[in-house]
A = this chain, B = another copy of it.
Amino acid sequence: MLNAPLLIKDRSMSDEKRIYKPRPVTGFPEWLPEERLVEQKWFDSIRRVFESYGYCSIETPSVEELEVISAKGEVDKEIYVIERLHADENSKKEARLALHFDQTVPLARYVAQHFNDLVFPFKRYQIQRVWRGERPQMGRMREFYQCDIDVINVDNLPISFDAEVAAVCYEAIESLNIGRVQLRISNRKILIGLLDELDVSEKIQILRILDKIEKIGSEETEKLLNETEAAQWSKDLIKLAGIKAKSSKELLDKINDLSIGNLFLNNPTGLEELASILNQLSHLPEDAVIADLSIVRGLDYYTGTVYETQLLDVPQFTGSVCSGGRYDDLASGYINKHLPGVGISIGFSRLFDVMRQTHADKLGIGPKSPADIMMILPSEEERYYAAATARRLRERGYKVELYHAARKIPDQIKYASKKGIPYVWLPFSDGHQVKNMNTGDQTPANPEDWTK
């Protein structure tokens, strides 16, 4: 058509023709349009569940001051700092900025900074990218999405929120339709309370050993425990960590069966909390939630409930797809208030990446366009009519792509097929027709009869 030869002859680039062939940047994934369409569906679905419980969205900047990120003493994380390529003397005076490596530190900073503008309990969700400068190994990502929900309150936070975030997280993952989901819940106060009763002071060390029980097995765990203060109770601790229960009754029965069961009488809080959570989640399907006392979580800041989540039908996904817990006082590094919280984080991008690679069909990866309908352009003279028909269908809620050139109709249909658009509309002036690309049927149609 009107594509005239370029008139600008004096552009600096065109003569040179230096070609830099781009390559993927290790650890920074990107998806093709057909994958991205499914990724968007997932985000929409997770967001719908989060909001259905009244969680509000926030986003924080990609960066925090390095001082903020290191206020919790977490500088050993693989932090990325950013710097202007052409830094001058002025910019050197500015605060150093680092890309956030999680959404918990930014949340704590956000709550402290906007404390007076927030209504508590503050129920927020956050779906953003985070960055970790890990060694490029085993498909570890350096940039990935997390989907987090947390509730923060002033002074006290009811245990019902520990049940709520678990329910929300279960529903969010379940909504992705990738098979059975199992939440495994424990409470650090159970073990810590017991160690208190036993007068063992090396609590964190023992938690860390028990955290690895699934990886290294009972025997190895016992060996490690035997080198600690708790050596004489190592068998009991391993038995305790081996408890799995589907209901509060089963949990308490199994505790009572332990020889050290009576030690919990003086210090029942952890068990009571866990039992209460199981009761509040009893509406979920069988196998959806279990108490699993081997769950400890690595992060130091958890003080009560801890969660992990397994995909029972996706063996290719190892580890926990969604984890979290309760923390007593996360923002104390930034504000002089007592702000307990509980939250869960979905490791979105790794989950999506594994599913994309192993279950592309089940995920519905295929169509390369969001369009419902492709509008045929019968001839250049009929462009206005075809465009107007497309607009009428858009007003009725459809996504409609107008074909761009008055080519032969089979060629236009081939394009719709390549893009995976399910319907082709033929806007003939003597009567419209619609072709169902799945069945091949072509039938008369009227835009006014189509409502989404």
Binding site for B on A (CB under 8 A): 1-4, 6-8, 10-14, 17-26, 28-33, 36-37, 40, 51-68, 71-73, 75, 78-86, 90-91, 94-95, 97-99, 109-110, 112-114, 117-119, 121, 123-124, 129, 131, 133, 135, 143, 156-161, 164, 188-189, 192-193, 196, 201, 203-204, 267, 269-270, 272-273, 276, 280, 283, 300-301, 303, 328-329, 332-336, 340, 368-371, 374, 383-384, 387-388, 391, 394, 398-402, 404-405, 415, 418-419, 421
Contacts and interface: CB of A to CB of B under 8 A. Distances in A.
Nearest to A203: B10
A332 to B, nearest CB: 7
B3 A84 contact: no
Nearest to A204: B10
Contact of A391 (B118, B158, B283): B283
Contact of A59 (B36, B161, B369, B404): B36
A56 to B, nearest CB: 4
A357 B396 CA distance: 34
B81 A57 contact: no
A350 B14 CA distance: 33
Contacts of A371: 51, 54
Given A71-B18, A98-B85, A33 B118 contact: yes
10 contacts: A4-B189, A19-B335, A21-B334, A22-B68, A28-B97, A32-B117, A33-B118, A79-B84, A84-B133, A85-B133
A73 B18 CA distance: 11
A272 B392 CA distance: 28
Contacts of A59: 30-31, 36
Contacts of A117: 32
A51 B421 CA distance: 13
B65 A387 contact: no
Nearest to A126: B36
Contacts of A129: 62
A119 B60 CA distance: 35
Contacts of A98: 85
Nearest to A335: B19
Contacts of A56: 33, 36-37, 368-370
User: What 7 pairs between A and B have smallest CB-CB spacing?
Assistant: A54-B401, A28-B61, A4-B269, A54-B371, A84-B133, A79-B85, A33-B56
B79 A99 contact: no
A121 B418 CA distance: 12
Nearest to A108: B22
A84 B77 CA distance: 10
Nearest to A395: B52
A61 to B, nearest CB: 4
A123 B401 contact: yes
Contacts of A272: 2
B192 A8 contact: yes
A2 B269 CA distance: 7
Contacts of A335: 19, 21
A25 B13 CA distance: 37
Contact of A404 (B3, B160, B374): B160
A100 to B, nearest CB: 11
Nearest to A51: B370
A340 B75 contact: no
A90 B134 CA distance: 12
A123 to B, nearest CB: 7
A267 B2 CA distance: 12
Nearest to A420: B119
Contacts of A368: 56, 118-119
A81 B71 contact: no
Contacts of A334: 19-22
B283 A388 contact: yes
A3 B340 contact: yes
A338 to B, nearest CB: 10
B13 A61 contact: no
Contact of A143 (B62, B404, B419): B62
A29 B402 contact: no
A161 B57 CA distance: 35
Nearest to A282: B384
